[in-house]
Amino acid sequence: LDAQPYCELHYHARRGSLCAGCQKPITGRCISAMGHKFHPEHFTCAFCTKQLNKGTFKEQNDKPYCHPCFVKLFG
């Protein structure tokens, strides 16, 4: 970046490609949601911790929920 050398962690931190779940660099598939990037396996429902698919989650207070849990908690 800018012809400057960076270690891997700070390279991804500068590029904004650190997972918001585990704070580690994302190299493979990536999910962008709620203004953050996630490893697909770290984008999980805040109640049942099952993996979420982008587009099928519900957001409440900056936390993602799967549909069944959302209905249970907020329905």
Partner 1 sequence: MSHSLIEGIRMPDGHYADGTWELRVLVTDLEQELIMRVTGELHVGGLMLRLVEKLEVKRDWSDHALWWDRKNVWLLKTHWTLDKYGVQADAGLSFTPQHKLLRLQLPNHKHVR
Q: Report in angstroms how near the CB of residue 39 gets to partner 1 at its nearest.
A: 15
Interface residue list for partner 1 (CB under 8 A): 46-50, 68-69, 72-75
Complex with partner 1: residue 2 or 62, whichever CB lies closer: 62
Cα Rg of the chain (Å, integer): 15
Q: Report in angstroms how near the CB of residue 10 gets to partner 1 at its nearest.
A: 27
Q: Report in angstroms how near the CB of residue 29 gets to partner 1 at its nearest.
A: 22
Alpha-carbon torsion, ordered 35, 71, 22, 36, to 10 deg: 0
Q: Which of 13, 28, 72 is nearest to 48 (CA)?
A: 72
